[in-house]
Amino acid sequence: MDSITPQELKARLSLRDRPLLLDVRQDWETRLCRLENSVHIPIEEIELRTEELDPGTETVVYCHQGVRSAAVADYLRRLGFKNVKNLDGGLDHWARTVDPAMRRY
């Protein structure tokens, strides 16, 4: 499975050619914290809303700890999405290693 570390993602987000960020957490989780400019599609809606995503766009999927997003990334790959990565350790790992000011839960 392809994954990306929080540090690698931070470096990628500073470039002009940024990946699409796909947040698959629940609504209540996104109200606590989120990565700026993310597309929010809760995991239980992903099968019904994949047409909102471009299979040719580099996509980084994230959730709280990386488990749900790994399942979504795998699902998208099986549908033919070519460049999908899972955020290693999820948003919690991001908050611990990249953005300590981010609210954790």
pLDDT for res 17: 85
Burial string for 70-92 (b: 16+ CB within 10 Å, else e) reads bbbbebbeeeebeebbbbbbbbb
Give the contacts of 53 (CB within 8 A, at least 6 positions apart).
20, 22, 39, 41, 59, 76, 81
DSSP one-letter code for 62:
E
Query: What integer pLDDT is reported at residue 15 of this predicted model?
Result: 85
Domain count, the chain: 1
Q: Give the CATH number of the domain where residue 32 resides.
A: 3.40.250.10
Q: Does some domain include residue 61? A: yes
Residue 47 pLDDT exceeds 90: yes
pLDDT at 31: 96
From CA 62, how far away is CA 35, in angstroms rounded? 9
The residue range of the domain holding 67 is 3-97
Q: For residue 16, what pLDDT is reported? A: 85
- Taking only the tens place, the pLDDT of each residue in 55-100 is 999 999 999 999 999 999 999 999 999 999 999 999 999 999 999 9
Any idea how long the chain is?
105
Residue 103 domain flag:
no
Asked if the structure places residue 105 within a domain, the reply is no
Percent of the chain with pLDDT over 90: 95
Tokens 């470039």 — which residue?
A: 15
More confident residue, 54 or 14: 54
